[in-house]
Amino acid sequence: MFDLILVALIIVSVTVVMLDSVQSVSRQNIALFSVMEWTFTVLFTIEYLARLACVQRPMRYATSFFGIVDLLSVLPTYLAAFFPELHALIDIRVLRLLRIFRILKLAEYIAEYGFLGAALWASRRKILVFLATVMMIVITMGSVMYVVEGQENGFTSVPISIYWAITTMTTVGFGDITPKTDLGRAIASVMMLLGWGVLAVPTGIVTAEMTSMRIGQRVAERVCGRCGSAGHDSRARFCRDCGAKLS
């Protein structure tokens, strides 16, 4: 119940931050947004202090990823209120926008985020190899397009050409740079078709890892009700230690 309430508060708080950036809405609801912001700040501060009081190593939590996110979710409001001189150092809109980091707190209270994170971490080597391969392709093709098209067609440098290769391979295609020669268009067509297949690779890697983890989790959860033996195969009908029927 605590997690569900906190998730709701985070979503409402982030919504208020986004609406506060719309000038027409902000001017009409300045008092309401101020009250809501301080309410959220106080609640998140209590939660942050309670976590520091509960954990065995407060400093370790305070310097962890979620500890820093918790601090960033409350710090901007206090800085803006108690240190007005910061207006001369940083635009207050930028300072207040740091509150958007509260959205990252959702990952701490939804178990599926942890499952997805574990799958990404387990797939990190394969994903890094994939990204390295993609980088080699776009660097090579970008350099080729720089030679083929030339500066007169907008490919003014190799980095600009690589930027074009990335937008083309990801099928984004902003259109700010386009090939003009027949050979350049042929190369662009190949990269577009290649992009369709390339984009599916990381999805397949992570999905396969998540499936493997889910199967392993089901196997680990199968426990014999008679002897307590765990880790049975998902297709097993009887306990391998005592022979009792598995539920």
Same domain, 103 and 137: no
Are 66 and 89 in contact by the 8 Å Cβ rule? The answer is no
Cβ(8)–Cβ(100) under 8 Å?
Answer: no
Domain membership flag for residue 139: yes
Q: Specify the range with the lowest mean pLDDT, choosing from 7-21, 156-170, 230-244.
A: 230-244
Domain boundary among 109, 143, 165: 109
- Owning domain of residue 42: 2-109
Is pLDDT of 241 > 90?
A: no
Tokens of 186: 């042929």
Lowest mean pLDDT among 54-58, 67-71, 224-228, 229-233: 229-233
- CATH code (residue 12): 1.20.120.350
pLDDT, tens digit (0-9, with 9 covering 90-100), for 139-192: 999 999 999 998 999 999 999 999 999 999 888 888 889 999 999 999 999 999
Please give the pLDDT value at position 88. 47
- Same domain, yes or no: 105 and 193: no
Q: For residue 58, is it within any domain?
A: yes
* More confident call, 56 vs 91: 56
For the stretch 74-95, pLDDT in tens is: 887 888 778 766 654 444 455 5
| 102 and 166 within one domain | no
